[in-house]
């Protein structure tokens, strides 16, 4: 089993574990050792799954405005946690590949490996929830058929992403891609860089 196939198993496990309670406030019971990449991958998908549900909740047209603001703040914190974790996963890849001497014709990828893994994690969340829609019995045949078609696309995307990320990691390993990581320089959460925040001092 290669690394990306292992990611798929962990992501599928995490999203299924979350739905054992289906509660955004449920405590996470990460089964992996905290010092391992498996632990970070499980946590990554848990964050993505919780945030998926937070995004559903905040779209309730009857939501109390005060509750909506608190929820928006929680989503903002979740996004920052997600970004921080992606960068931690990129540090893992950096340790794996940065010392490899690139070949003369080596190319640079448009995104770091952890951001590709981020998209793979979110795809697993989409797959779980689209299957939920496919299994509904309270919808029209037309809606059911649309969901079945969308599910087929998501499954194809899973195959393609698994292959493409595996190929990317193989390219890093043999020097045909140059390992580079650009840290996210988000300014709106930084009180020294967001004018709304530092302007209030």
Domain boundaries, the chain: 3-198
Q: What is the mean pLDDT of residues 116-125?
A: 98
Residue 187 confidence (pLDDT) above 60: yes
Residue 92: the pLDDT is 96
Adjacent-strand bridge partners of 108: 178
The DSSP 8-state label assigned to residue 189 in this structure reads T
Read off the pLDDT band of 119 (50, 70, 90).
very high
Per-residue confidence (pLDDT) for residue 200, from 0 to 100: 63
Cα 121 to chain centroid, rounded: 4
Average pLDDT over residues 140-165: 98
Can you point out the beta strands (E) in the chain?
107-108, 177-178
Per DSSP, 26 falls in state S
- Residue pLDDT, tens place only, 65-94: 999 999 999 999 999 999 999 999 999 999
**Contacts for 101 with CB less than 8 Å, ≥ 6 apart:** 175
What are the φ/ψ torsions at residue 178 (nearest 5 degrees)? -95, 125
Mean pLDDT (whole number) for 158-168: 97
103 torsion bin: left (phi>0), alpha (psi -120 to 50), beta (else): beta
Q: Are 11 and 124 in contact (CB under 8 A)?
A: yes
Query: Residue 18: CA atoms inside 13 Å, Cβ hemisphere, count?
Result: 24
- Cα 13 to chain centroid, rounded: 14
53-58, Cβ contacts within 8 angstroms, sequence gap of 24 or more: 53/22, 53/24, 54/24, 54/78, 57/24
**pLDDT at residue 201 in the model:** 54
C-alpha–C-alpha distance, residues 55 and 51, integer Å:
6
Answer yes or no: are the C-beta atoms of 171 and 108 closer than 8 Å: no
């Amino acid at each position: 089993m290669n690394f990306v196939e292992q990611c798929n198993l962990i992501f599928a496990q995490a999203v299924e574990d979350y739905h054992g309670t289906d509660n955004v406030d449920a405590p996470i019971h990460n089964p992996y050792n905290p010092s391992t990449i498996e632990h970070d991958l499980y946590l990554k998908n848990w964050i993505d799954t919780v945030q998926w549900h937070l995004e559903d909740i905040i779209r309730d047209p009857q939501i109390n405005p005060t509750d909506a603001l608190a929820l928006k703040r929680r989503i903002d914190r979740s996004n920052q946690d997600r970004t921080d974790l992606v960068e931690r996963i990129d540090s893992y890849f950096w340790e794996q590949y940065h010392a490899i001497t690139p070949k003369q014709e080596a190319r640079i990828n448009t995104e770091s490996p952890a951001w590709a893994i981020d998209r793979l994690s979110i795809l697993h969340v989409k797959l779980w929830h689209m299957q939920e829609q496919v299994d509904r019995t309270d919808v029209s045949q037309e809606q059911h058929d649309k969901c079945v078609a969308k599910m087929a696309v998501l499954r194809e995307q899973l195959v393609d992403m698994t292959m493409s990320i595996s190929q990317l990691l193989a390219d890093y390993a043999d020097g045909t891609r140059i390992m580079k990581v650009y840290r996210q320089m988000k300014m709106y959460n930084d009180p020294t860089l967001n004018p709304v925040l530092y302007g209030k001092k």
